[in-house]
Structure 1
């Protein structure tokens, strides 16, 4: 089981805050540092304000050296796919091939309203999302010297040089690995089967994990794809303590209750957390994204690295 660190900077974080977490994660041996892609906080005051995901990852590409970097999830509503393909390819080059693109349809209406970003209805967002997956991977996989055209309902490209190319070419359709996630019963599994190198489930229980992993496996089999070629992962909020007092302190710091976190997140003593990770592993999960909400508490990561990581 690989453990990755996942942050929510829209809740209030500077680049330096994120750099400290990323470097600590790298030093401790976590598999990756990921961040959300949001422009508006969901609670609190959000000070000092949100930061842009791909600007952050460009900085981390140069300020770290070995840890993998990515998004859970970049919103398809935020950027034209042609521009996003260039951004991700450039940051992948800057990192020496350490970038992973988590891409989703977008869901948070309020951040679109706050910053003047169009927010179509669900059906159109998924239509655009599907076109973006085809377009971005098409740009990356076009051989150097050839041209790429795309004629979709929402996006059209003509005679594109399809440059620059990312450093990585190991993704299912060329380029960096692509992560797809979500709870949808029909379109999400189909898109994951067609495009995903990794399928991620955020903040769900074991019962739903089994259900949704099964849907994606069946969708893969329907297009003659071996489900074993997909990496399976969960994201869970983290709250680990060496004793009850430390668990309570860390839960209070993020405005949650220990009992609720034990039920809905990855919380408790290291032994409890190891046991829960192994239950997700039994369902097929190969990676856990640890949602770290108190970015100043680097000792939290140190405890997990020392007392959880060696046992999973």
Structure 2
């Protein structure tokens, strides 16, 4: 059915062979999406319970299959663009840097690649940092850190996101050059940061490899329908993990590129106080500095 509702040829063939119209497919899909979201929406839940937070931290540190120990984070943050049909009005507002019309999704996952937060609906043209600033993490969670970040937790993200006390990104390239003790410690930190953060990249890879409907091109015009379908698929992803379904291999297309940090001057200009607090926090959790050993 995924192939049929996501392919014009599939819809036409189905209409000719079993007389199911495109409108009927849309109705079936909308009803299914609504049922999934209403029934299982609690499967995407931010970890506020201290026991749950401690469990996630321990999983990131000593997770199964990890070659080296990781960082005790409470989540890994990243974004993904889904290619969609062009909009009839203001189409260029949805064109991303690769020339595709796309919708941006931002997500956080735990150590088992289970999603704990998703935000969909922004244009793929938006920068990751801009989408983050409009998210509940930036507007609610970080303003209520005692509730949303118990045990002084933090999230790992790549350098597209703003550094702060609760969002830890890698050290910029300017700080890992050379052979000094400090540069070496920061380079090692970036490596373990990347290894730990791969949980969210793996989650994206598993999602699209098992559900080709969202992997290449979503042939649906209504952006509201697209948001609903994406949320439903992420809920189903978590449901599969809850049911201990066999883990799918992630799609090779989802492997991450080498992270290139932004210059300090750019990040600091976004929010100087938050940035400086983030620098202090990042240094304090870096296990490779002599003071942390």
TM value normalised by structure 1: 0.25
**Could you say which structure has the greater relative contact order, defined with CA pairs below 8 angstroms and 6 or more residues apart?**
2
Larger Rg: 2
Structure with the higher fraction of residues in helix conformation: 2
Structure with the higher fraction of residues in strand conformation: 1
